[in-house]
Copies of this chain bind each other. A is one copy, B any other.
Amino acid sequence: MPGRVGVWLVGARGSLAVTSIAGAAAVRAGLAEPIGLVGETPALAGAGLPPLADLVFGGHDVAGTPLAKRAEQLAQAGVLPATLPAAVAGDLAAADAEIRPGATCDDGRPQADTVERLRADLVAFRDSNALDRVVVVNVSSTEPVAAPRPEHAGLAELNRALLSTTDVLPASSLYAYAAFTSGCPFVDFTPSTGARLPALHELAGSAGLPYAGNDGKTGETLVKTALAPMFTARALRVLSWSGTNLLGGGDGATLADPRAAASKTESKRRGLEGLLGHPVDGRTHIDYVPDLGDWKTAWDHVSFAGFLGVRMSLQFTWQGCDSALAAPLVLDLARLTARAHQAGCAGPLGALAFFFKDPVGSTEHRIATQYEQLCAWAGGLG
């Protein structure tokens, strides 16, 4: 058993973090069924995952709104059941007490100082709660694509740069750095850079720590990775795959910035070509539509050629609640990564590709095959 496990959420006051914390409490207390939690299904029963009851939540955030208030907002929006915030008020308060100010990249100090502060927060959380391990999970807003820097190529260069520069790493990578130097595994649920730099890969390796990511697969891409293999298996030729994603809420607002959206659409595109084995026409749009709130609607149009070149099409519309889709995956990932850490895994956890749009350590995008690989790997841990 992995023992008591800390789940340290970067972006701990966001909708996704609050839904994860409140939802874990609800399921633990028997107030909700474990819908959406892969870790609670028979397929993973033998993996030896830490029970939901053994998870302790904390995190970083640059915002200060109390979790209780955020939970109320989510209940009004229909993301949480109306009576849940009151029912799990104690759990929310406990987590709230463990949230520390997040990193901002422009405070004018060398980033080594920032890392040191983040590191100290992690260590204090682990120590004061007597945790066996802490998994850091990035659930903050999507960053713009980070510019490549020569110092990213190796750990020695990076360490030097951190001492003297204020911007060698994007925020997501600062958190990964802090996690690895604190002995904590790292999971990136966003399309941001996170641990995906050679220097950080080297750091994780030398520290014997596992990491996972990137970009949780919760909607359009989830469906794509179920459908694209069907075309391939049947030797049907996909000619174009076009998609439009309408998002409200915080993620939508962030992605209204074309630089952040670029990070997301690129992550989506890579997967599709991997699935089909060839490039296809068609664009993917991400539009910010404020009135949709926490809900998102994706429409995809696939045109394909069948026997003798006859043109046909498939369209789908996915309408889901972003936080409700993502939160159980955050809990699953925290538990699986904690278990992997306990089992001594280090480096990228390709077996967790099932959860991600752009998986580290794996080139497999087919959801069914990812699921088999997950089950086999988790079975081997038990």
Contact = CB atoms under 8 A, between A and B. Distances in A.
Interface string A255-285: 0000000000000000000000000011101
Contact of A287 (B40, B242, B321): B242
Interface stretch (A3-11, A121-129, A147-155, A227-235): A227-235
Contacts of A79: 308, 310
B292 A287 contact: no
A108 B32 CA distance: 49
Interface residues of A, number: 75
Contact of A285 (B78, B80, B244): B244
Contacts of A281: 289-291
A362 to B, nearest CB: 16
A179 interface: no
A353 to B, nearest CB: 13
A307 B19 contact: yes
A47 to B, nearest CB: 14
A95 interface: no
Given A301-B246, A310-B79, A235 B290 contact: no
A38 B234 contact: yes
A282 B23 CA distance: 29
Interface in A56-97: 76, 78-82, 84
A34 B235 contact: yes
Interface in A8-38: 19, 23, 26, 32-38
Given A230-B222, A308-B84, A297 B301 contact: yes
B289 A38 contact: no
Contact of A308 (B26, B239, B309): B26
19 contacts: A23-B308, A32-B307, A35-B237, A35-B305, A36-B235, A38-B235, A76-B82, A78-B78, A223-B227, A226-B229, A233-B367, A239-B291, A240-B291, A246-B282, A282-B287, A297-B301, A312-B324, A313-B318, A368-B369
Interface of A: 19, 23, 26, 32-38, 40-41, 76, 78-82, 84, 222-223, 226-227, 229-230, 233-237, 239-240, 242, 244, 246, 281-283, 285, 287, 289-292, 297, 299, 301, 303, 305-321, 324-325, 327-328, 354, 366-369, 371
Given A229-B368, A307-B328, 19 more contacts: A76-B82, A222-B234, A227-B227, A233-B354, A239-B291, A281-B290, A283-B287, A289-B303, A291-B311, A306-B325, A306-B328, A307-B325, A308-B324, A310-B321, A313-B319, A314-B317, A316-B317, A317-B317, A368-B368
